Chain A
Amino acid sequence: MLHDLALTSPLLILLFAALFTLVVDPFLPSTTEARSFWGRFGAGTSAMAILACAMLWKHGGNEMHTVAFGYHLSASPMSLFFTALVAMSAMLTHLSSPKYLVEQGSSYGEYYALLHFATFGMAVMVSSESLLSLFIGLEIMSMSIYVLVAFKRTSAASVEAGMKYFIMGSVASAFLLYGMAFLFGMSGGTSFIEIQRALAMPKPGQGGWLHLAVLMTMAAFLFKVAAVPFHMWTPDAYEGAPTPITGFMSSGVKVAAFGAFLKILYAALAGVGMSELHLPMATMLATFGVVTMTVGNLLALTQKSVKRMLAYSAIAHAGYLLLGCVASVPDGTLGAPYAVPTGAVPFYLVGYAVASLAAFAALSTVGSGGEELTGEAQLVGMGRRYPFAGAVLGLAMISLAGVPPTLGFFGKLQLLRDVLAVENGKYLPHVIILVLNSLVSAYYYLRVTVFVYMRPEGRTEREYVREPSLTWAMGIAMAALLIIGMLPYRAMTMAQTAGAGVRTAVASRHVAHELPAKAEPAAAAQK
């Protein structure tokens, strides 16, 4: 029990931070100072969660792949890596929020509690070892994010965005639940181990149902990561949401969704079962990825608002990442038919999350008095009036475009390399399209820097929001982009370990030794 509590300590820290905020906030005066205290408190507790992940990673040793609380949660390298990443997103979001919310006139303490709850839900998603905990984690995250998107209650755009996201997201959840119900029906269990075991020995007549289940589950995840053709909600939700929350959606939500997707793909579905059932899972993913990145980039080209442009760029990046999901290597312990993802997706997510958090933190400095000024033309002069924010925005754009000294470049490089390595360049055409897409994307990313630095300023002088914790947020993001960008080796190896740890050691043992253990009674019942 104590052991299990230690393994889930990052989750517990996040949960208790949420409850503490919720309970204590009514007793604090509702002043600006009290709110910025919650911002710092949130950043501190998120940092503690990251620290807990690091401790478990470092001192875990043999316990690294352990499941906690009876196959519902795990502390595998993958879950720790992704938990640390969502906690990092939460930390920067907490730091960049307080002043922005005051300016927008909706600074309530519940914001920080919901942010913690969302992070907790994400951590549960990426630590889940069963469909049940994965789904509930996803719902905790989604519910919190729906409310956070609509948090500017006086702004029609914000409420509309929240409502749209809520309705579309509920449909996606329904799809996911339906798919999971079929998976449960076929395997007789909700944990990934049981599903993998059942799929390893498919019974006749299961194929069609499995296809249905997998397609529905996949549709739900494509929705959550904003991939074409389920991307319609993205621009409105991203534009209407409070700017720090937009940053959180494009970093934390994406990280959590891809983490959970990798778990479902590799820990629950992948393996002998999938190849025997002839579902071209990898080809489908790669195709969706290529379509998504192309549509996202082409639509991003015409956007005038930087916030909306970043929403379309989030779609494009979801495309790159979907293509990255096919990059796999044989499992180290189980051997060839079983695969684990490479470090491509985890490492790419680090670069993408940090860069978009930096961009949205910088965008939080413009706009005041309930107004957001995130149009391109409104950023003119930012480089001169607020050089630091201008530099952070510019650097984030360069990283998102994937230009060498930054983290974004190495993320893309590793992704390309790993995808090319799959079956001797089977995905070469896809990779070529990805490179062409990157070229297209450089145009609209670099256009932002042109507006920030190179356009003559008009007569109106714009005021920027300056605040210590916001400066910290931008500073941390910028430092991460540059430092990890220049010394990427350590992070790359960690991402590789994370990918290889998608299956817990217990699961591997079960799959390896107990394959024929459970199937007979179920098969008899079928006949």
Chain B
Amino acid sequence: MPTELLLFYALGAGAVLSTAAMLLPTTGRSPIHAALLLIVSFFFLAGLYALLSAHLLSILQIIVYAGAIMVLFTFVIMLLNLSPDEIREPKISYAKMLGGGVALFVFGKLLNGIGLAASAAKAVDLTQHDTFGTVKEVGHMMYSTFMVPFELVSVLLLVAAVGAVVLAKKNLAYVDRPVPSPAEEFKTEGHAAGDGEAAAGHGGHH
């Protein structure tokens, strides 16, 4: 137990400190530093999940959040390419104050709830008593109780992929400009090559 407790405090402190470091004036001015600190924070959180024997969540935290989503974040920051003087001093507006107030209120309520739960909780060895959160258990639930939502999500992802291709692909085959047959394409020296490729690769990659 003490080892576990020690690990918990170490990981928790790491997560909190790396998040708090984003607010420092030196790093806070640089979006890319903040994003990198967020990755660090995600890793600490993944450790906390592993400690709770939620193995799958811990792995997903690293693959999805620390991996995919953070790559997206850093790409967006790099694409925006803000110079330091473009980043203005934060201003305090009424909307921000209101939002901050609501956030504080919710935070207080949550603290209260955690306090209530903690007073009722008993020490349980999660590895012994509960398989909740293991890969096997989550997989079992996903393919039994939550099979329908799981399948529906696959449709949702398909729709999103098709939609992204439809909106972002450069050349889609136009009706008013029919795709030429290979022979005609040869004659016109490939100005319609893009169209032919688009017709063949509908719904394919960008």
Q: How far is the CA of A200 from the CA of B71 in the complex (A)?
A: 46
Q: State the CA gap A69–B144 with chains docked (Å).
A: 9
What separation, in Å, do the CA atoms of A124 and B154 have in the docked complex? 14
A136 touches B (CB below 8 Å)? yes
Cβ B155 vs Cβ A114 within 8 A: no
B200 proximal to A (CB < 8 A):
yes
Given contacts A136-B153, A151-B166, contact A117 B159 (CB under 8 A): yes
Please state if B175 and A136 are interface contacts (CB–CB under 8 Å). no
Q: Does B56 contact A (CB under 8 A)?
A: no
Kindly list chain A residues whose C-beta atoms are within 8 Å of the C-beta of B166. Answer: 108, 110, 114, 147, 151, 153
User: How many A-B pairs with Cβ below 8 Å?
Assistant: 100
Q: With A102-B176, A108-B172, A527-B120 given, is the CB distance from A147 to B167 under 8 Å?
A: yes
A283 at the interface (CB under 8 A from B): no
Interface pick from A137-145, A351-359, A376-384, A423-431 = A137-145
Q: Is B7 an interface residue (CB 8 A)?
A: no
B73 at the interface (CB under 8 A from A): no
CA gap between A514 and B84 in the complex, in Å: 63
Contact A73 to B159, CB < 8 A, known contacts A30-B173, A136-B153, A525-B120: no
Query: Among the listed A30, A70, A146, A525, which residue makes an inter-chain contact with B179, where contact means beta carbons less than 8 Å apart?
Result: A30
Asked if B202 contacts A110 (CB within 8 A), the reply is yes
**A129-185 CB contacts (< 8 Å) to partner B:** 130, 132-133, 136-137, 139-140, 143-144, 146-147, 150-151, 153, 162
Could you give, for residues 89-115 of chain A, a 1 whenever the CB lies within 8 Å of some chain B CB and a 0 otherwise? Answer: 000000000000110010111100110
Knowing A114-B163, A124-B152, A147-B167, the reply to whether A26 touches B199 (Cβ < 8 A) is yes
Q: CB distance B203 to A110 under 8 Å?
A: yes
- Kindly state whether residue B63 has any CB partner on chain A within 8 Å: no
**Judging by beta carbons under 8 Å apart, are B145 and A114 in contact?**
no
CB proximity of A187 to chain B, nearest CB, Å: 16
List residues of chain B with CB within 8 A of the CB of A25. Answer: 202
**Which residues of chain B come closer than 8 Å to A69, judged between CB atoms?**
147-148
Q: Mark A35-50, 1 if CB is under 8 A from B, else 0.
A: 1000000000000000
Contact partner of B178 (CB less than 8 A), chosen from A31, A72, A527, is: A31
A132 to B151, CA, bound (A): 12
> Bound complex: CA of A86 vs CA of B11, how far in Å?
51
Contact yes or no, B149 A136, CB < 8 A: yes
Give the residue of A32, A102, A107, A110 whose beta carbon is less than 8 angstroms from that of B162: A110
Q: Which residues of A contact B165 (CB under 8 A)?
A: 110
Q: Which residues of B contact A113 (CB under 8 A)?
A: 162
Say whether B9 faces chain A, with CB atoms less than 8 Å apart: no
Contact of A29 with B by CB under 8 A: yes
The residue on A at minimum CB distance from B179 is: A30
Chain A residues, Cβ within 8 Å of B149: 72, 130, 132-133, 136
Rounded to whole Å, the gap between the CB of B157 and the closest CB of chain A is 9
Known contacts: A69-B148, A102-B176, A120-B155. The answer to whether A144 contacts B120 by CB under 8 A is no
- Asked if B174 is at the interface (CB within 8 A of a chain A CB), the reply is yes
Residues of B within 8 A of A460 (CB): none
CA distance A30 to B173 in the complex (A): 7
Task: Answer whether residue A15 sits at the interface, using C-beta atoms and an 8 A cutoff.
Answer: yes
State the main secondary structure of chain A at its contact with B.
Answer: helix
- Shortest Cβ distance from residue B202 to the other chain A in the assembled complex, whole angstroms: 4
Q: How far is the CB of A179 from chain B (nearest CB, A)?
A: 14
Chain B, 121-166, CB within 8 A of any chain A CB: 144-149, 152-153, 155-156, 158-160, 162-163, 165-166
> In the complex, what's the smallest C-beta–C-beta distance from A518 to chain B, in angstroms?
16
Nearest CB of A to B101, in Å: 15
Contact yes or no, B147 A70, CB < 8 A? yes
Known: A29-B179, A35-B175, A105-B174. A143 touches B163 (CB 8 A): yes
Q: Does B6 contact A (CB under 8 A)?
A: no
Residues of B within 8 A of A72 (CB): 146, 148-149
A463 to chain B, nearest CB (A): 17
If the complex has contacts A25-B202, A26-B202, A72-B148, are A140 and B175 also in contact, measured as CB distance less than 8 A?
Answer: no
- Interchain CB contact under 8 A, A114 and B175: no
Residues of A within 8 A of B201 (CB): 26
Q: Is B80 positioned at the interface, with any CB of A under 8 Å from its CB?
A: no
* Distance, CA A113 to CA B166, complexed state (A): 11
Q: Does A302 belong to the interface (CB within 8 Å)? A: no
Q: Which of B156, B159, B160, B167 contacts A153 (CB 8 A)?
A: B167
Contacts of B156 in A (CB 8 A): 136, 139-140, 143
- Do B203 and A22 touch (CB < 8 A)? yes
Query: In the complex, which residues 167-186 of chain B have their Cβ closer than 8 Å to any Cβ of chain A?
Result: 167, 172-176, 178-179
A169 to chain B, nearest CB (A): 13
C-alpha spacing A109/B202, complex, angstroms: 9
How far apart are the CA atoms of A160 and B5 in the complex, in Å? 53
- What are 27 A-B contacts defined by CB distance under 8 Å? A15-B155, A22-B162, A22-B203, A26-B203, A35-B175, A69-B147, A70-B144, A101-B175, A107-B174, A107-B175, A108-B172, A110-B166, A110-B203, A113-B162, A117-B158, A121-B155, A130-B149, A133-B149, A136-B149, A136-B152, A137-B152, A143-B159, A143-B163, A144-B159, A150-B167, A153-B167, A153-B172
Interface residues, chain A, with chain B CB atoms under 8 Å away: 15, 22, 25-26, 29-32, 35, 69-70, 72-73, 101-102, 105, 107-110, 113-114, 117, 120-121, 124, 130, 132-133, 136-137, 139-140, 143-144, 146-147, 150-151, 153, 162, 525-527
Known: A72-B149, A147-B162. 14 other contacts (CB 8 A): A26-B203, A32-B175, A70-B148, A108-B166, A108-B172, A132-B149, A133-B152, A136-B149, A136-B152, A137-B152, A147-B159, A147-B167, A150-B167, A527-B120
- A-B CB proximity, top 10 nearest: A147-B163, A26-B202, A72-B148, A30-B173, A107-B175, A136-B152, A132-B149, A69-B148, A143-B159, A110-B166
